[in-house]
Amino acid sequence: MSTLIRPALSLLLLMTLITGVAYPLVVTSVAQVAFPAQANGSLIVDAAGKVRGSTLIAQDFTGDAWFHPRPSAGAFATVASGASNLSPSNPALATRVIDDAGKLQVPGQGPVPLALLTTSASGLDPHLPPAAIAYQLARVAAARNLPASTLQALLDANTERPLVGPPVVNVLALNLALEKL
């Protein structure tokens, strides 16, 4: 039996030390030197040194003067976040979408972008498609008494266009830029 038990236990221990201790420590050491901002959560720190969020984690914005993110099934809870898991055939989904569309509809701007009416998989989706930001542009411009062209320029500057994915706008980054105007 010692040909079975000794290798089983010692190799489990050795693999634990190599893959469970050494490997994460090596990755952490290199990451903390090479990419410290990302490795620590891409935090946003204000002038007073206070953490105001992470660029990757959506936070709620209400009021006419801010761009609103996608709705969150977990009300932007982070521990743990979650999704609605509503099936496409579930009547509760269509009811909610149609109700919200009624509230968000802007006369003369066409149908409401679907991203503003659907909850994301993570509950913390930090992005919106540019069209879903553009749909809110007139409201924010009016509330801030700014020309729409200024906000359009801000939107363009904050639109990311990766070669392997759809164009997106980080809503928190956009609102931070908005605040600095």
Partner 1 sequence: MHGYDYGLILAFFALVLIPAPFLGRFYYRVMEGQHTWLSPILGPVERGCYRLAGVDSAVEQSWQKYTLALLAFNLAGFVLLFAILLLQGYLPLNTEQLPGLEWTQAFNTAVSFMTNTNWQSYSGEASLSYLSQMVGLTVQNFVSAATGLAVLVALCRGIGRKSATTLGNFWVDMTRATLYGLLPLCLLLALFLVWQGVPQTFAHYVHGVTMQGVDQVIPLGPAASQIAIKQLGTNGGGFFGVNSAHPFENPTAWSNLFEVASIILIPAALVFTFGHYVKDLRQSRAIIACMLALFLIGGATSLWAEYQPNPALDNASVEQTAPLEGKETRFGTTATVLWSVTTTAASNGSVNAMHDSLNPLSGMVSLVNMMVGEVIFGGVGAGLYGMLLNVLIAVFLAGLMIGRTPEYLGKKLGAREVQLLVATLLVMPVSVLVLGAVAASLPGPAAAVSNPGAHGFSQLLYAYTSAGANNGSAFAGFGANTPFHNLMLSLGMLIGRFGYILPVLALAGSLALKKTAPIGQNSFPTHGPLFVTLLTVTILLVGGLTFLPTLALGPIAEHLSMGF
- Rule CB under 8 A: which of 134-173 touch partner 1? 161-166, 168, 172
9 lies in the site for partner 1, by CB under 8 A: yes
Please say which residue, 129 or 158, places its beta carbon nearer to partner 1. 129
d(Cα 35, Cα 17) in Å, to the nearest integer?
Answer: 25
Q: Applying CB under 8 A, which of residues 49, 64, 67, 82 lies at the interface with partner 1?
A: 82
Please say which residue, 125 or 154, places its beta carbon nearer to partner 1. 125
d(Cα 171, Cα 49) in Å, to the nearest integer?
Answer: 22
d(Cα 126, Cα 129) in Å, to the nearest integer?
Answer: 11
- In angstroms, the Cα distances linking 36 to 25, 27, 28, 39, 78 are 14, 12, 10, 5, 22
Amino acid code (one letter) for 124 = L
Q: Applying CB under 8 A, which of residues 125, 139, 140, 151 lies at the interface with partner 1?
A: 125
Nearest distance from residue 19's CB to partner 1, in Å?
4
Q: Applying CB under 8 A, which of residues 67, 68, 72, 115 lies at the interface with partner 1?
A: 115
180 lies in the site for partner 1, by CB under 8 A: no
Maximum Cα interatomic distance, the chain, rounded to a whole number of Å? 81
Q: DSSP label at 113?
A: P
121 lies in the site for partner 1, by CB under 8 A: yes
Q: Applying CB under 8 A, which of residues 67, 68, 72, 84 lies at the interface with partner 1?
A: 84
Question: Residues 57, 175: contact at Cβ < 8 Å?
Answer: no
Please say which residue, 129 or 137, places its beta carbon nearer to partner 1. 129
Nearest distance from residue 154's CB to partner 1, in Å?
16
- In angstroms, the Cα distances linking 140 to 75, 159, 173 are 22, 17, 15
Q: Applying CB under 8 A, which of residues 12, 142, 143, 153 lies at the interface with partner 1?
A: 12
Nearest distance from residue 149's CB to partner 1, in Å?
24
Please say which residue, 41 or 147, places its beta carbon nearer to partner 1. 41
d(Cα 130, Cα 159) in Å, to the nearest integer?
Answer: 7
